[in-house]
Amino acid sequence: MNLKKIAIFVEGQTEQIFVVKLLKEIARQKDISIKIYKFQGTKSRRTPHLLEDMNIENSRFFALLYDCTCESQVLSDIKSQHQSLTQNNYTKIIGVRDLYPKSLDDKQKIENGMKGFIKPLNKTGIPIYMILAIMEIEAWFLAEWQCFSKIDKLLTYEFILQSCGLDLINIDVETIPHPSDDIDKIYQLIGRNYTKTKEQVTEIVESIDYQLVLSDVVKKAKQLKKLIEEIDEFLSQSIP
C-alpha cells in the first residue's frame, strides 16, 4: 500500500499540540500515523530528536511534525529538510508560526519575506505553504470561546465579558495584540494563570469543539481556515 506523506513545521509546543489534535479530527475515520520531532542545538547545527511516534498499522496517511522551538527557525528548518522530504516522496510541507512579538503593522512585511524565502524552494521540490497565526495561535482558542466553560463551568461568555471586558463573540480575534495574555485573564477568574505549559495547552486543545471550529471558527480566523484547507486537501487526494 502506498503511503501519502506530509511534513508540518511548527513554531513551538503550543502549535505542536494543537496541530496534532487538528490532524486527528480532520482525518476522523481515515487512519493517520504521526511522528513528532523537536529540533535541538544551535542555529548552525540543529538535530531533530524524536518526541513521540503515533504509528497506526496499515495507515494510508503519515504526518511528520517538527517542533522548531521558535518562530525564527521555522523557515530555516524547512529549508534544511526540503530536499530530503522531496526525495522521500512527501506531498507537501506546511509551516506554522505566529506574528508575536512583532505587531500587526509588520504582517505584510513578514508575509512578503516568507513568500520570497520559499519561492526558489518551490521551484526545486515539493510545495511549501506558510500559515501565519495572527498574533498568536491562542487567538484561535479564543475564537472557540465555548471551550473555557468546559474547563470551568463558571467561564461562560457572559461571565468573561462582565469580569474582564472580553467580548469573545464579537471581537476580531486576528487583531488581539497578545492573545495568550487574554487567556491568562480568563484563567485568573478561576484563580489560575495561563503560562503555556503542556498540561494547560492540552487542557484547552482537548476542550475545543472541532465541529464548531470547522463550521464557525474558520469564519473568524482566516489563517486557521487556510491550515485546515491544506490538511483536508492532503487527506482527500488519492494516492498516486
Do 161 and 198 share a domain, yes or no?
Answer: yes
Q: H/E/C letters for each residue in the chain?
A: CCCEEEEEEECCHHHHHHHHHHHHHHHCCCCEEEEEEEEEECCCCEEEEEEEEECCCCCCEEEEEEECCCHHHHHHHHHHHHHHHHHCCCCEEEEEEECCCCCHHHHHHHHHHHHHHHHHHHCCCCCEEEEEECCCCHHHHHHCCCHHHHHCCCCCHHHHHHHHCCCCCCCCHHHCCCHHHHHHHHHHCCCCCCCCCHHHHHHHHHHCCHHHHHHHHHHHCHHHHHHHHHHHHHHHCCCC
> Do 88 and 179 lie in a common domain?
no
Question: Same structural domain for residues 125 and 35?
Answer: yes
Within its chain, how far is the Cα of 143 from the centroid?
A: 14
The reply to whether 131 and 16 lie within a common domain is: yes
Q: For the domain that residue 222 is a member of, what is the CATH number? A: 3.40.50
Residue 145 structural domain: 138-210
How many domains in the chain?
2
One domain for residues 19 and 100: yes
**pLDDT per residue over 116-132, tens digit each?**
999 999 999 999 999 99
Which of the pair, 238 or 23, is modelled with greater confidence? 23
- Residue 66 and residue 17 share a domain: yes
Residue 240 has pLDDT above 60, yes or no: no
Considering the domain architecture, whether residues 116 and 97 belong to the same structural domain is answered as: yes
Looking at residue 101, what is its pLDDT?
Answer: 87
Q: What is the pLDDT of residue 129?
A: 97
* pLDDT at residue 30, as a whole number: 82
- Tell whether 32 and 120 lie within a shared domain: yes
pLDDT in tens, 55-101: 998 899 999 999 999 998 999 999 999 999 999 999 999 999 999 88
Q: Say what the pTM is.
A: 0.94
- Sorting pLDDT into bands at 50, 70 and 90, what band is 2? confident
14 and 122 in one domain?
yes
Spatial contact of 145 and 221, defined as CB atoms under 8 Å apart = no
Read off the pLDDT band of 113 (50, 70, 90). very high
Same domain, 197 and 123: no
Which residues in 23-34 are b (16+ Cβ under 10 Å) and which e?
Answer: bebbbeeeebbb
